[in-house]
Structure 1
Amino acid sequence: MPHLIVEYSANLAGYPEAEALAALNAAVCASPEVKDEADLKTRFVHTSAFEIGTAPANRAFVHAELRLLAGRTPQAKADLAERVAAVLRRLTPRPAGLMVQLSVDVVDMDRPSYVKERL
C-alpha cells in the first residue's frame, strides 16, 4: 500500500512513462499520508483496446487509480488525488486534434483482507 495504477490509451504516443513514474512517486511520497516510500507501487498500463463514448476517433484518456488502506480523511484523499492529477496534467501528451480526458480516483482497500509482506 499504496498502489498507483495509471492507464492510458494507445493513441497517446510517446507517453513519458519513466519521467511520469519518478514524478508521481515523488509527489505521492511527499504526502504525510505515505509513511514509508518503499510502500508505494506505481505502474503504467498501456491500453490498446479502448473506446470513449460513441465517436469513432479523436479521443484519448489517462486514468489513475490510487488504492489506499481505508481510513484516510476526505481531505487527505483529495490532496493525494490532486498530487497525482497535477503530475499527469503536466506530462500527458496532447496531440493536435485529440481530446484527452484525465481522471483520478482514490479507492479504499479493506484493511482486514489486505495482505502485504516483504520477502
Structure 2
Amino acid sequence: MPHLTVEYSSNLPGYPEAQALAELNAAVCASPEVLDEADLKTRFVRTTDSFQVGTEAVGRAFVHAQLRLLSGRSPEAKKDLAGRVAGVLRRLTPRPQGLMVQLSVEIVDMDRPSYVKERL
C-alpha cells in the first residue's frame, strides 16, 4: 500500500513514463499519509489500440490514475492525494494537436482487514 496505476490511451505518443514515475512517487510520498516511501508501488499501463472515449471513434484520448489506499483516510487526505497525482499528470501528459485528452484520478479504499503485504 499504496498502489498507483496510471492507464493511458495508445494515441498519446511519447508519454514520459520514467519522468512521470519519478515525479508521481515524489509527490505521493511527500504526503503525510505515506509513512514509508518503499510502500508505494506505481506502474503505467498503455492501452492497446482498442479503446474509445465517448461515441467518437477518433480525436480523443485519456489518462486515468487509480490510487489504492488502505481504508481509513479522511476525505481531505484523499482529496490532497488526488490533487498531487492530477498535478503531475496534468503537467506531463502530452497534448497532441487535434486530440482532446481527458484526465481523471480515482482514490479507492482497500479493505484493511483482508489486505496482506509482506517484504520478502
Please confirm whether the aligned pair reaches a TM-score higher than 0.5, indicating the same fold.
yes
- Tell me how far apart the structure 1 counterparts of residues 58 and 42 of structure 2 sit (CA, whole Å): 29
Taking only aligned residues, the RMSD between alpha carbons, in angstroms, comes to 0.4
Code of the residue aligned with 1:85 in structure 2: it is: A
Tell me what 1:20 maps to. Answer: 20
When normalised by structure 2's length, the TM-score is 0.98
TM-fit CA distance, 1:54: 0.8
Q: Is the aligned partner of 1:10 residue 2:10?
A: yes
- Tell me how far apart the structure 1 counterparts of residues 89 and 77 of structure 2 sit (CA, whole Å): 19
Tell me what 1:32 maps to. Answer: 32
Code of the residue aligned with 1:22 in structure 2: it is: A
- Tell me how far apart the structure 1 counterparts of residues 57 and 18 of structure 2 sit (CA, whole Å): 30
Tell me what 1:44 maps to. Answer: 44
Tell me what 1:59 maps to. Answer: 60
Structure 1 residues without counterparts, runs of 5 or longer: none
Deviations 1:45-97 (A, max 9, x none): 00012111111100000000000000000000000000000000000000000
- Tell me how far apart the structure 2 counterparts of residues 92 and 71 of structure 1 sit (CA, whole Å): 31
When normalised by structure 1's length, the TM-score is 0.99
Where 1:65 maps in the other structure, the secondary structure is strand
- Tell me how far apart the structure 2 counterparts of residues 111 and 31 of structure 1 sit (CA, whole Å): 20
Structure 2 residues without counterparts, runs of 5 or longer: none
Where 1:43 maps in the other structure, the secondary structure is strand
- Tell me how far apart the structure 2 counterparts of residues 90 and 36 of structure 1 sit (CA, whole Å): 26
- Tell me how far apart the structure 2 counterparts of residues 60 and 39 of structure 1 sit (CA, whole Å): 30
Tell me what 1:94 maps to. Answer: 95
Tell me what 1:105 maps to. Answer: 106
- Tell me how far apart the structure 2 counterparts of residues 50 and 81 of structure 1 sit (CA, whole Å): 24
Stretches of 4+ moved more than 2 A in 1?
none
What percentage of residue pairs aligned between the two structures are identical?
Answer: 79
